[in-house]
Amino acid sequence: MDLQLNGKVAVVTGGSKGIGLGIVRALIDEGAKVVNVNRSAEDGQRLQQEYAAEGKVCRFVQADLTSVDRCREAVQCALDEFGRIDILVNNAGVNDGVGIDDGPGAFLNSLQKNLIHYYAMVHYAADALRAHKGCIINIGSKVCDTGQGGTSGYAASKGAINGLTREWAVDLAPQGVRVNAVLPAETWTPLYERCLAAMPDPVGARQDIERLIPLGQRFTTIEEMAAMVVFLASPRSSHTTGQIIYVDGGYTHLDRKCTASSVSNFGSAET
């Protein structure tokens, strides 16, 4: 299927690693020009050079997104180079483990890392998106629905992102701008792999998690996350807005007693 993204300009935050990198690669595969806004200069420049060698565009903009000024400058860099923005993917963030006992200062810092730049990027890109009837995809997390424990700042940010997705969808619908969110649960990324590797039994820990994932009892792949994002960014999803879509193999919502225990036929008795 042609997703009709050839020549479109996409801005992706946190596009050098993990899910963000998967999104960048999928967009470029569909012919889009990508502006990757990322803190790590080494990773961003390497990716830019890789695609330049192939005659493709992955423009790197170095920015610490906790600064709203850098958010504004990143959007302006995209406009200065390409003259338009068709797609904004808010992806950057970190599950930083700021919990109840860490205090208000740490909580506010967590919101800066995980929430405020979502608003800032949309604020500064809004006129460009309106001009071309563009779209916004916000990357969230199942943590805002399930809780995790010990991560108040991240959970609050991701809950707010769901709310803003619907708020912005209402705000921007009259100008033809679509806004959706994509939420992962257990996605296999290099960071996740490193976290499990630090545990006493990495293989057993992975198996324990996989048993909780109803569809296939396996982790979601980065490519599966990216495919949903790119579809939502494309004109093929032209009448989809305000949606919160879970790419998680059923992890967030399906009944655990039917997927992670021996009670597989619960509720199926004849009446």
Give pLDDT tens digits for 9-45. 999 999 999 999 999 999 999 999 999 999 999 999 9
Write the pLDDT tens digit of every residue in 57-97.
999 999 999 999 999 999 999 999 999 999 999 999 999 99
Strand order from edge to edge, sheet including 58-62:
58-62, 33-38, 9-13, 87-90, 135-139, 178-184, 244-247
Q: What is the CA angle 222-232-157, rounded to 5?
A: 70
Is residue 177 domain-resident? yes
Identify whether 120 is part of a domain. Answer: yes
* Predicted pLDDT at 79: 98
DSSP one-letter code for 174:
G
pLDDT, position 270: 47
In a domain, residue 20? The reply is yes
Residue range(s) defining the domain that contains residue 122: 9-186+221-250
Q: Judge whether 123 lies within some domain.
A: yes
What was the pLDDT predicted at 135?
98
Residue 207 lies in a domain: no
Is 48 within the bounds of a domain?
A: yes
Query: What is the pLDDT averaged over residues 256-261?
Result: 69
Q: What is the dihedral of CA 39, 106, 98, 95, to 10 degrees?
A: -10
Q: What is the mean pLDDT of residues 242-268?
A: 77
Asked whether residue 267 carries a pLDDT value surpassing 50, the answer given is no
Residue 267 lies in a domain: no
CATH code of 167's domain: 3.40.50.720
Res. 224: pLDDT tops 90: yes
Which pLDDT value is given to residue 199? 87
CA distance 43 to 221: 21
Q: What percent of the chain has pLDDT over 90?
A: 87
- Kindly state whether residue 135 falls inside one of the protein's structural domains: yes
pLDDT (0 to 100) of residue 262: 54
- pLDDT tens sequence across 99-122: 999 999 999 999 999 999 999 999
Mean pLDDT, residues 196-211: 89
What's the domain count of the chain?
Answer: 1
* Active site amino acids: 154
Task: Judge contact between 188 and 222, C-beta under 8 A.
Answer: yes
Question: Mean per-residue pLDDT for 114-138?
Answer: 98
Residue found under tokens 């792949």: 221
The mean per-residue pLDDT over the stretch 146-167 comes to 96
* Spatial CB neighbours of 107, under 8 Å, sequence gap ≥ 6: 98, 152, 153, 156
